Structure 1
Amino acid sequence: MTTNNKQQYLVAFIMVTSLFFLWAFLHNINPILIPHLKKACTLTDTESAFIDSSVSLGYFLIALPAGWYMHKKGYKKGIQLGLALYCAGAFLFVPAASTRSYGFFLAALFVMASGATFLETVANPYITKLGDAATAASRLNLAQSFNGVGAFIAPLIGGKFILSGIEHSETELQQMTPDQLQQYLSFEAGTIKLPYIVIGAVVLLILLLFAFVKLPEIKETHSADAGSEFSTRVFRHMHFRNAVIAQFFYVGAQVCVGSFFIRFSKYTMNLGEKEAAFMWGSIAMVGFMAGRFVGTFLMRFIRPAQLLAAYAAISIALLAVAIVTKGNAAVYAMVAVPFFMSIMFPTIFALGIDGLGEESKIASSFIVMAIIGGAIFPVLMGQVSDANNGNIQLAYIVPLICFVVVGWFAFTQFKNKAVAVSAAGH
């Protein structure tokens, strides 16, 4: 590789790595948006869960079209389209807040998620090709660290600039005049405008940079029977089928645990929304990021399936404590869960595609599409809460059951020796 090529690859690597922060931010701002829009749009727990559903549905519907577009148009155009959609979705939050329309907010989130799907579909494989194949995994792991940064920064930014800290009781709201109530709700909805204008502007700047900076063109090579790669016959592999099921339940659990944490903290120990948001970002999500490094280290000595089983069991135990206790014990048990969730997505991914060869490409697409679980289980969790007079603590039985399924999958894979954990995008 020439010196010029190395410099070109370095610039491309830095620019593409910045994208990892964007989809991490989208996923991890939801625990802020759910309680915030619940107030601003006067929603039930079930209705507020559609925030997660909108994002997950975007991934589910756009994953395959994004892969097709990348295949036809190349990496750079895929990135540009993803950034354009992400930017458009962010700016749509402004009219959504002005009209205080929950449907408008969901549409804006869907557009942002569609853009993030393009970015995630393109960035992971592109990073692996920006240099020598022997160092592809280390490049991807380095880029993935920005995913972890986004995971803990999003709740901190959201807690600081979106949540007002004003939490009226039902009685106080009922005592307001219609004009006072509308003024309060409009104020709550309006706090979301400036942060998303800034987000849209930053993404627009990144889009302009990608438009004017020349990125290395990657020439792909295809085997003669490449068409056979994209066949649903891949489902004949039992370990792959089980991985799709496990990923469906895992992503559902991940989204459930984080999305209702602020509500959970208020319910179990009367913790304010700003304090809960700070705790989630500064402790839980830092633990999530640290857990990936610790888990990767432990896999040098422990088989991935065995570590996955142990982490699933610990997560089940922590959620059980969170469900049956009150106060600090419940909240800190919940805060500990993300550390043990951290390895689950990439480990299920690696075990699911192990030994599939050329079929791993289509298998990867289906495993990624399994994140639709993040659209379904939060709604189910909201329904459990609403059916029990807003008992969000009891509703955490939903992610607990999801982790049972993850543990079952891990147990079925004890003989699988896969150790690659470089696909950690969630």
Structure 2
Amino acid sequence: MEHYSRAAALPPESGTEAAGKAGNTGPLVVVTILFFMWGLLTSMNDVLIPHLKAVYTLTYVQAMLVQFCFFGAYLLVSVPAGMLIRRLGYQRGAVAGLVVAAIGCALFYPAATSGYGVFLFAFFVLAGGITVLQVAANPYVTVLGDPRTASSRLTLTQAFNSLGTTVAPTLGGMLILSGGMLGAGELAALPAAEQLAYRAREAASVQGPYLVLAGTLLLLAVLFALARLPKIVDAAGDAEQGRFGDLFAHRHLVLGTLGIFLYVGGEVSIGSFLINFLEDPKIGGMTAAQAAHYVSLYWGGAMVGRFIGFAVMRKVSPGKALAFNAAASIALIAIAVLGGGKVAMFAIIAVGLCNSIMFPTIFSMALHGLGKQTGQASGLLCMAIVGGALVPFAQGAVADAMGVQVSFVVPAACYAFILYFGLKYANLHKQ
């Protein structure tokens, strides 16, 4: 929804042909461009969810099928993606991921004339490509530098991922939502022929932007194929990594996996419901296009926070920083649920700032001290990203039953567990 790094961190014995040498900056810049692109593509969902909800008159639970298909791909595609990378290599694997993601974007064109089901298939294909891309790209961030600063380096590169998530809602609002959307009552009042024409026109508004994105991804695939990147080699074979079941003996990994599940779910849920929340007359009373700009502020807070976290986490224990941010998130959500007007509006937006360090921090804490099992553990953490598919369903059910404002108690519960995880392992890296 960000960022959602497929974990694929490499064991300490792994490396690159350029490991230990100067010149890591260039390869990191190339990889960071990919972080930006998948942030942009992921955050566009926050614009499309209210758009498709209005076009097809969906319930909140039905609208959350977008995130179910998108983040469900992380669970279903991660293992095949890892097999593909082993066969193709990391650089060619990234190219393959870009091509698949481009196909997913191109599928939005026929989806506009075929119905909601084809849109959902397009989301799955797009996310499948992004999953392959992340499997290939994240190891570069892990190995291109000092292992002791891998967490802060991942935080820095994901700041550029957040730049993509920040740009996307405003861009999507301008290109897709600018025509304005009719409410369910207004749409029902139109004659049947006009309803069909309206749905066709609004659905078609996504065609142009996603064709441009498809073309951009194909161009990046060509550029990445031509780039001179160091070759990543895995020194440790599968037999040396041990059994997958042995991973569950590491309590901090098990709890960290649940933490990733809940963090991704909570952050995705907030972004998914933010436009509808801001449209509420008691909160912002604004149009969807206007609300999209504030969604950019939500993701922009995560971007700013990552730059801050890059520096702070060199001095402060990752667990303590995580616990502080989780506690702040809970307090802000409580204000948004119990309050109204601009106070509630900016409280929920400010949660984005608190989200900033959570993913890379939980990720690195969960992998702490796993040695040769790091690669397998990374795959487990990647599967946990499916939280982005399931938690929004829970919030959607609450929103349908009790309203959007109350439904934010669901992500608040997610942050409560992250607070516990951060406090429990506050001194993990000192052990």
Q: Structure 2: how far apart are the matches of 1:24 and 1:33? A: 15
Query: Displacement of 1:91 after TM fit?
Result: 0.3
Structure 1 partner of 2:8: none
Q: Is the 8 A contact 2:159 2:307 kept in 1?
A: no
Paired position in structure 2 for 1:415: 427
Indicate whether 1:333 and 2:354 are aligned.
no
Counterpart of 1:393 in 2: which secondary structure? helix
Partner in structure 2 of residue 22 of structure 1? 37
Alignment of structure 1 residues 182-331 onto 2, 5 Å: 182-211=196-225, 213=226, 215-216=228-229, 218=231, 220-223=233-236, 226-229=239-242, 231-267=244-280, 268-281=283-296, 283-331=297-345
Q: Which residue of 2 aligns with 1:177?
A: 191
Q: Distance in 2 between matches of 1:129 and 1:236?
A: 26
What is the aligned partner in structure 2 of residue 58 from structure 1?
73
How many residue pairs align between the two structures? 411
Are 2:418 and 1:406 aligned?
yes
Superposition deviation, residue 219 in structure 1: 5.3
Contact 2:180–2:289 under 8 Å retained in 1: no
Asked if structure 1 preserves the Cα contact closer than 8 Å seen for 2:151 and 2:360, the reply is: no
Aligned mates of 1:138, 1:333 — CA distance in 2:
27
- For the pair 1:103 / 2:117, whether they are aligned, the reply is yes
Residue 231 to residue 35, structure 1, CA distance change in 2 (3 Å): same
State the secondary structure of the residue aligned to 1:164. coil
Letter in 1 for 2:259: A
Contact in 1 for aligned 2:90/2:232 (Cα 8 Å): no
> Runs of 5+ in structure 1 lacking a partner?
420-426
Q: Please give the alpha-carbon distance, in whole angstroms, between the structure 2 residues aligned to 1:136 and 1:352.
A: 13
Distance, in Å, in 2 between the alignment partners of 1:78 and 1:369 is: 19
Q: Distance in 1 between matches of 2:407 and 2:238?
A: 49
Q: Give the Cα–Cα distance (whole angstroms) in 2 for the partners of residues 296 and 418 of structure 1.
A: 19
1:423 alignment partner in structure 2: none
Which position in structure 2 is the counterpart of 1:82?
A: 97
**CA distance in structure 2 between the partners assigned to 1:318 and 1:227 by the alignment:** 46
| 1:34 paired residue number | 49
Q: CA separation in 2, counterparts of 1:131 and 1:301? A: 19
Deviations 1:219-252 (A, max 9, x none): 5252477543462211101111111111111111
Structure 2 distance, partners of 1:408, 1:138, is 22
My pick for the range that moved more, 216-225 or 403-412, is 216-225
- Residue number in structure 1 paired with 2:5: none
- CA distance 1:269–1:125, change in 2 (3 Å): same
C-alpha distance in 1 between matches for 2:392 and 2:148: 40
**1:307 and 1:129 mapped to 2: Cα distance?**
24
Cα distance in 1 between the residues matched to 2:421 and 2:145: 35
In the other structure, the counterpart of 1:157 is 171
- Whether 1:377 and 2:386 are equivalent positions in the alignment is no
Deviation at 1:344, TM superposition (A): 0.9
Q: 2 CA distance for matches of 1:21 and 1:290?
A: 14
User: Partners in 2 of 1:132 and 1:168 — Cα distance?
Assistant: 53
Q: 1:218 to 1:339 in 2, by over 3 A?
A: same
Pair 221,52 (structure 1): closer, same or farther in 2 beyond 3 Å: closer
Note if 1:351 corresponds to 2:365: yes
Q: Aligned to 2:233, what secondary structure does the other structure show?
A: coil
Q: Percent identity?
A: 37
> Which residue is equivalent to 1:45?
60
Shift of 1:135: 8.6
Counterpart CA distance in 2 for 1:369 and 1:74 is: 21
- Whether contact under 8 Å (1:287, 1:336) holds in the other structure is yes
Residue 380 of structure 2: aligned partner: 366
Change (3 A) 1:140 1:354: closer
Q: Distance in 2 between matches of 1:308 and 1:135?
A: 17
Q: How far 1:21 sits from its partner (Å)?
A: 1.5
Shift of 1:17: 2.8
In the superposition, the TM-score normalised over structure 2's length comes to 0.89
Structure 1's consecutive aligned runs of 4 or more residues displaced over 4 angstroms after TM superposition are: 9-14, 127-142
**Residue 39 of structure 2 contacts residue 161 of structure 2 at CA under 8 Å; is this kept in 1?**
yes
With normalisation by structure 1, the TM-score equals 0.90
The one-letter code sitting in structure 2 at the alignment partner of 1:408 is: Y
Structure 1 stretch 199-208 or stretch 300-309: which is displaced more? Answer: 300-309
**How many angstroms apart in 2 are the aligned matches of 1:216 and 1:413?**
36
SS in 2 for 1:117: helix
1:394 to 399, 402, 406: 406
Q: Is contact 2:35-2:158 (8 Å) kept? A: yes
Q: Could you tell me which residue of structure 1 aligns to residue 13 of structure 2?
A: none
Distance 1:6 1:197, change over 3 A: farther
The separation in 1 between residues aligned to 2:61 and 2:275, in whole angstroms, is 15
Contact 1:29/1:158 (8 A) holds in 2: yes
Asked if 1 retains the 8 angstrom alpha-carbon contact of 2:241 and 2:376, the reply is no
Output the CA distance in 1 between the equivalents of 2:153 and 2:407.
Answer: 40
Amino acid at match of 1:412: K
Distance 1:42 1:80 in 2: 37
CA distance in 1, matches of 2:156, 2:350: 24
Q: Could you give the per-residue CA deviations for residues 360-412 of structure 1, whole angstroms, max 9, x where no partner exists?
A: 11111111211111111111111111123xx1111111111111111111121
Answer whether contact 1:129 1:218 (CA < 8 A) is retained.
no
Alpha carbons 1:229, 1:361 under 8 Å: kept: no
For 2:257 and 2:408, the matched residues in 1 are separated by: 23
Contact 1:164 1:191 in 2 (8 A): no
